[in-house]
Chain A
Amino acid sequence: MITIVDYGLGNIGAFANMYKRLNLPTTVARREADLDGATHIVLPGVGAFDHAMELLNASGLRDPLDRIVADRRAFVLGVCVGMQILGDSSEEGTGRGLGWIGGRVRAFAGHPAAGRLPLPHMGWNDVVPARQTRLFKGMENYARFYFLHSYFFDCEQREHVLADADYGFPFPCAIGCRNVFGVQFHPEKSHHWGASLLRNFAET
């Protein structure tokens, strides 16, 4: 069962809607018990890193999710800030992330190649898969998605980077390690490319 985590942030309805149009049923998880039977978990998120971690920690879903990930009982897809919190920490705040994929979230503002570009990085950008992955099946040559963020995920290990996008410099916009994936862009708002990615995730 595709399960969308509702810990107070992100456009739950948009994910549910996308999957509905793909004729794939979904449920929403607000409590630990809602995670039973989850095979594919979508972790949305918008706004600030610290705020997202606070809400997730307070939701009662943090520990069950840690266990599910450690036991590899389901696949997880973090979206936007939901991807950023997969890492260890962020320049945006002081909180600790989930640490499921090694990396630190950094500001575009501090980066020499992007520091003078308008922020946030907002709009449609081309996404280049780093190698063949299930997530980008059917989009190996070309894909574009909608981005809306001011921080990017600086991945510790290059092999965890599934795709890059370019905003002054190439940065990881999709990451993956074992059963955990993350995308910086918004597949739920990226037309047929987003629909394909979400379906590919569900078929993982």
Chain B
Amino acid sequence: MTARGIPNDVDTMSNTSNPQRPYRICSNCIMDTSDTNITFDERGWCDYCNNYHANILLNWHTDERGARDIEAIVEKIKLEGRGRDHDCLIGLSGGVDSSYVTYLAKERFGLRPLLYHVDAGWNSQQAVNNIEKLVDGLGLDLFTEVVDWPEMRDLQLAFFKAGVPHLDTPQDHAFFAGLYNFAARNDAKYILTGANYSTECVREPLEWHYHASDLRQLKDIHRRFGTRPLRTFPLAGIFKFRIYYRFVKGVRVVKPLNYVPYVKEAAMQELVDRFGWQRYAHKHYESRFTRFYEGFWLPTRFGYDKRRAHFSSLILTGQLTRAEALERIAKPAYDAETIAQDFEYVATKLGLTVQELRDLLEAPRKTYRDYRNDMALIGLGTKVLQRLGVQRALIR
């Protein structure tokens, strides 16, 4: 490997999936042709930028209108939650978005949330600290779903062996399935999430990050490469998520961060000052696995750098200049020595030798299409939601 920890024979700057297309980068944000389906207009603006201006910006209000809208929702939550121990559920990972929602929910809106955390076996010390600080600092109740580690490990290993990019599906799926299943089981009507346009209006393409909610895909990969049954692993299919829980059980998902001004840096500092919250090196690094996966594995093996989408979101929302973004993306997400130590840690956790993990790094690359999937159905659902104006971010 080179000093950057990248194998010499993987060309991370070109398009690993489509070598015919010449390299091109958006002139407004920094999304580029590592998203092989990206399109550009005459100005050189990509379809994410155009979608942002066409669909998101017009319907995103963080001023008095936003404040009024969220107040109305909060009133409903309080009303429906009367007489119960808690009036809403918050999925808390320890990351900045869910942490800030927790803070707003209690202090700004006066809600009585139950905090819900999924322990997938990869919590960093910062994540655990941050959850503790919020629980103590705000005086809130916590529930933890501890995923059976042998099942999680087996499923993660199955995804590695499947050779696909979306290795974070086991964690993501467990998180959402756990949260929604818990809500349904306990008759919770409102889930507050940290999802937000401010830092996520440019969503990674499905090529990089396929739907973790596609249970068919998860089951097929598990069937082919898993070695133990998923007996207690939190599972929920796309129908459960989007249809049954929503329309039959009446579970509503609220994204408070889209109704208030949300500037990531200021939000983090507020949490640090108020609660002794600890910062992470980058988004999603509350999980050791995610840090390794997004910071090293995905860029090295596939040439996909999720920071590109995140920084692009920050550019569109005025929190980062394009020049700053280009400078930051040019540096690897983290240094070679930490990568080497994480590499060993991940191998140990997965029950592999370092060489075995290296072999997987260099194995043939696959996509979600190589395995059974419900993409057609999900795609249809997405289109419907986009028509209804419910889904605004570009998902493709």
Q: Which residue of B lies closest to A21 (CB)?
A: B341
- Name the interface residues of B158-202: CB closer than 8 Å to any CB of A: none
A20 to B344, CA, bound (A): 12
Question: Is chain A's interface secondary structure helix, strand, loop, or mixed overall?
Answer: helix
Q: List 3 A-B contacts (CB under 8 A).
A: A20-B341, A21-B341, A23-B337
B55 to chain A, nearest CB (A): 47
Q: Which residue of A lies closest to B338 (CB)?
A: A23
A172 to B341, CA, bound (A): 36
Q: Mark B331-344, 1 if CB is under 8 A from A, else 0.
A: 00000010001000
**Interface magnitude class on chain B:** under 10
List the B side residues contacting A20 at CB < 8 Å: 341
Q: Which residue of A lies closest to B341 (CB)?
A: A21
Residues of chain B at the chain A interface (Cβ within 8 Å): 337, 341
B11 to chain A, nearest CB (A): 28
List the B side residues contacting A23 at CB < 8 Å: 337
Q: Which residue of B lies closest to A23 (CB)?
A: B337
Q: Mark A1-27, 1 if CB is under 8 A from B, else 0.
A: 000000000000000000011010000
Q: Mark A168-193, 1 if CB is under 8 A from B, else 0.
A: 00000000000000000000000000
List the A side residues contacting B337 at CB < 8 Å: 23
A20 to B337, CA, bound (A): 10
List the A side residues contacting B341 at CB < 8 Å: 20-21
A23 to B3, CA, bound (A): 14
A20 to B341, CA, bound (A): 9
A181 to B341, CA, bound (A): 30
The 3 closest A-B pairs by CB, nearest first: A23-B337, A21-B341, A20-B341
A122 to chain B, nearest CB (A): 26
A194 to chain B, nearest CB (A): 18
A35 to chain B, nearest CB (A): 27
Q: Which residue of A lies closest to B337 (CB)?
A: A23
A21 to B341, CA, bound (A): 8
